[in-house]
């Protein structure tokens, strides 16, 4: 990925020098091992800090609604879909964005790497990728595993690894390792259990929610200026994180992002108490696909799913 990184630094510098963008949004090395953090800069001297590697987790499109001016933004396939979805919703103007597309071979889930080796991430010395293998070094010993064992579940089911909407593509189209069965395994397992124990599962999971709103705040599809959870007239939810209110929060959030969610996986990754939120968001994504034949962010000319209707709609009341 070094060549992609070098091309990014070169293109980002050009864009800033030529005044084509006011800001660059990308990734720089994080303060913790095996992490990156968003870098937002208007200084061309900062572009050498931009990195592309197997740990560029964030969906940076989330920043687009906050920043004024023209922006050059680094986008993996799923992020580019979120940008297109924001354009469809008139939240972002296409001419204000220069998409620096990253062909994405999949992102490494550190939780899976830790489990494979049986050590905390701080105890791992190195994690590197060689084609369809991952090499993890700990205590001076190296172990090799199929890359599919450490990729995020959503990456294993990725539908658009290489952005189709971009201004500059930073490398050759990617072919990530796809394992749709593994990608859906947890969801399939949950769907396989009867309603009562499934209800208990979710009441237990959601009783751990501390209502930090990280899942909402990292989500580019959650862009309401005032979220319903902050309304006081009427008050939709109690501010205290009771599991019933936490459940309502997730149910309503999932309805709000229906047709906008691109399965980027950020909500689940950001949850500090590891609630399996993708089991809800991906299920909604699949329902939207099945019922409406709609996939978010695939076509910037398409009308947003939830804000238009068609003559053939089944319900008479909207004709």
DSSP assignment string, 25-85: EEEEE-SSTT-EEEEEE--GGGGGGB--STT----GGGGTTT--S-EEEEE-HHHHHHHHH
Distance separating alpha carbons of residues 147 and 108, to the nearest angstrom: 8
- Asked if 69 and 23 touch (Cβ cutoff 8 Å), the reply is yes
Q: At what angle do helices 278-292 and 243-257 cross, to 10 degrees?
A: 40
- Asked if 33 and 124 touch (Cβ cutoff 8 Å), the reply is yes
Nearer to ligand SF4, 24 or 56 (CB): 56
Least separation in angstroms between residue 179's CB and ligand SF4 is: 12
End-to-end CA distance of the chain: 52
Least separation in angstroms between residue 315's CB and ligand SF4 is: 26
- Asked if 156 and 179 touch (Cβ cutoff 8 Å), the reply is yes
Nearer to ligand SF4, 72 or 105 (CB): 105
Least separation in angstroms between residue 233's CB and ligand SF4 is: 23
Least separation in angstroms between residue 139's CB and ligand SF4 is: 30
Least separation in angstroms between residue 4's CB and ligand SF4 is: 13
Least separation in angstroms between residue 268's CB and ligand SF4 is: 7
Strand positions, DSSP E, the chain = 23-29, 36-41, 71-75, 97-101, 124-130, 133-138, 141-146, 168-169
Nearer to ligand SF4, 74 or 78 (CB): 78
Nearer to ligand SF4, 16 or 257 (CB): 257
The rounded Cα 309 to chain-centroid distance in angstroms is 28
Nearer to ligand SF4, 14 or 38 (CB): 38
Nearer to ligand SF4, 1 or 218 (CB): 218
Q: Which two tokens stand for residue 233?
A: 């007239």
Residues near ligand SF4 (CB under 6 A): 76-78, 104, 106-107, 154-155, 158, 161, 176, 209-215, 218-221, 257, 261-267, 270-273, 275, 277, 281
């Amino acid at each position: 990925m070094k060549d992609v990184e070098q091309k990014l630094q070169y293109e980002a510098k050009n864009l800033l020098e030529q005044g084509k963008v006011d800001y660059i949004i990308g990734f720089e090395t994080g303060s913790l091992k095996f992490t990156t953090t968003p870098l937002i800069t208007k200084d061309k001297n900062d572009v050498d800090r931009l990195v592309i590697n197997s740990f560029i987790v964030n969906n940076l499109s989330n920043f687009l609604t906050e920043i004024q001016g023209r922006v050059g933004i680094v986008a993996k396939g799923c992020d580019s879909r979120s940008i297109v979805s924001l354009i469809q919703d008139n939240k972002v103007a296409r001419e204000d964005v220069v998409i620096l597309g990253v062909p994405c071979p999949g992102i490494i889930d550190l939780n899976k790497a830790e489990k494979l080796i049986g050590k905390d991430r701080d105890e791992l010395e190195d994690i590197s990728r060689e084609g369809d293998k991952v090499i993890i070094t700990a205590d001076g010993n190296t172990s090799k595993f199929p890359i599919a064992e450490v990729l995020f579940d959503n990456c294993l089911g990725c539908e658009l690894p290489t952005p189709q909407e971009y201004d500059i593509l930073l490398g050759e189209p990617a072919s990530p390792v796809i394992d749709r069965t593994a990608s859906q395994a947890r969801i399939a397992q949950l769907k396989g259990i009867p309603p009562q124990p499934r209800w208990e599962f979710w009441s237990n999971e959601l009783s751990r929610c501390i209502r930090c709103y990280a899942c909402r705040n990292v989500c580019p599809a959650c862009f309401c200026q005032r979220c319903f959870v902050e309304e006081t007239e009427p008050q939709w939810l109690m501010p205290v994180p009771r599991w019933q209110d936490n459940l309502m929060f997730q149910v309503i959030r999932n309805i709000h992002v229906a047709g906008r969610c691109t399965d980027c996986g950020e909500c689940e990754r950001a949850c500090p108490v590891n609630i399996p939120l993708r089991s809800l968001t991906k299920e909604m994504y699949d329902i939207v696909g099945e019922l409406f034949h709609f996939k978010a962010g695939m076509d910037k000319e398409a009308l947003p799913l939830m804000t238009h209707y068609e003559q053939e709609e089944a319900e008479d009341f909207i004709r």
